[in-house]
């Protein structure tokens, strides 16, 4: 991988001398690269149609839940321009190699993790790359990483339906898509875009996870629905896909994710979702 976090501004873009730059490769050249076989049984992409819905925290919680069940688990952080997996898992040690391939870092419970933030000088260094380079990094995270034999991998996808999701769906052996949303009507419309993209790529949609669905009173446990109740359930029925879980808006989740302790967080609702997913593919 190129050690720089961006191309040279004065040489990048539309200037003639930039024709040889990797960022000017055609997308079909990138997508057409042969992908290596990896010893990974099942691969799930966690997607969202827009940012800010808690997709990354759901990815981390699902991976942690699978690990608690004794499964060998990996996380590929495909959100190259907004990577958050290392922070959530409390991993700070940079990625190293064995002379041939990159070696993924491991979390406190043994989850294998690869993220661009573990290759940068600082976690707040911005990644300023064009789409084809982002796609190439995703392929490197699959081809050029020495993954152990894993029973399940979760891919934390960037929001939307751009270059990186397209590369993942076209190039990696994704077994299913998990869509994360929040209850607002607008988000429901965006969910449909993400689901339609998966369908167009012929990848099964495992189900929806509704995040920030409600708040619970700490004294009486009565639930309050700040964004309205039942909207995601209606969307799931309309799209004929299961609603795997409705997660509460819980300050503890933010605290544990911010402080790198996501693996220690007990969220009963995510456990039920993990059971549904893993039973579906007969891993539990």
pLDDT at residue 189 in the model: 80
Distances (CA, A) of 195 to 47, 48, 212: 9, 9, 20
For the chain, give every domain's residue range.
36-280
pLDDT at residue 12 in the model: 40
pLDDT at residue 33 in the model: 58
* pTM for the predicted model, two decimal places: 0.84
* pLDDT tops 80 at residue 209: yes
Give tens-digit pLDDT for 98-108.
889 999 999 99
Dihedrals phi, psi of 92, to nearest 5 degrees: -125, -15
pLDDT at residue 185 in the model: 65
Give tens-digit pLDDT for 119-131.
987 777 878 778 7
Mean pLDDT, rounded, of the chain = 84
* pLDDT tops 70 at residue 17: no
CA-to-CA distance for 91 and 106, rounded, in angstroms?
Answer: 8
* pLDDT tops 70 at residue 29: no
Q: Is the dihedral of CA 50, 52, 56, 59 positive or negative?
A: negative
Which class in CATH covers the domain with range 36-280?
Answer: alpha beta
pLDDT at residue 4 in the model: 44
Pick 135 or 57 by higher pLDDT.
Answer: 57
């Amino acid at each position: 991988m190129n050690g720089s976090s961006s191309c040279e501004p004065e040489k990048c873009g539309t200037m003639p001398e930039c024709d040889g730059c990797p960022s000017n490769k055609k997308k079909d050249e990138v997508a057409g690269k042969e992908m290596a076989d990896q010893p990974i049984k099942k691969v799930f992409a966690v997607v969202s149609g827009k940012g800010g819905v808690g997709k990354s925290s759901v990815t981390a919680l699902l991976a942690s839940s699978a690990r608690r069940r004794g499964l060998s688990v990996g996380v590929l952080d495909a959100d190259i321009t907004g990577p958050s997996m290392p922070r959530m898992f409390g991993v700070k040690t940079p990625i190293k190699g064995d002379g041939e391939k990159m070696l993924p870092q491991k979390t406190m419970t043994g989850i294998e993790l690869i993220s661009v933030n573990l290759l940068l000088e600082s976690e707040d260094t911005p990644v300023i790359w064009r789409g084809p380079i982002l796609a190439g990094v995703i392929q490197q995270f699959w081809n050029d990483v020495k993954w152990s034999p894993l029973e399940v991998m979760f891919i934390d996808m960037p929001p939307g339906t751009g270059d990186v999701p397209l590369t993942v769906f076209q190039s990696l052996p994704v077994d299913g898509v998990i869509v994360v949303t929040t209850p607002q009507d607008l988000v429901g419309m965006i969910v449909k875009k993400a689901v339609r993209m998966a369908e167009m790529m012929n990848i099964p949609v495992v189900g929806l996870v509704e995040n920030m669905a409600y708040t619970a009173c700490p004294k009486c446990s009565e639930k309050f629905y700040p964004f309205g109740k039942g909207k995601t359930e209606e969307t799931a029925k309309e799209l004929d896909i299961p609603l795997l879980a409705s997660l509460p808006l819980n300050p503890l989740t933010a605290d544990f994710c911010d402080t790198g302790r996501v693996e220690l967080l007990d969220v009963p609702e995510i456990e039920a979702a993990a059971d549904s997913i893993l039973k579906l593919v007969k891993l539990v």
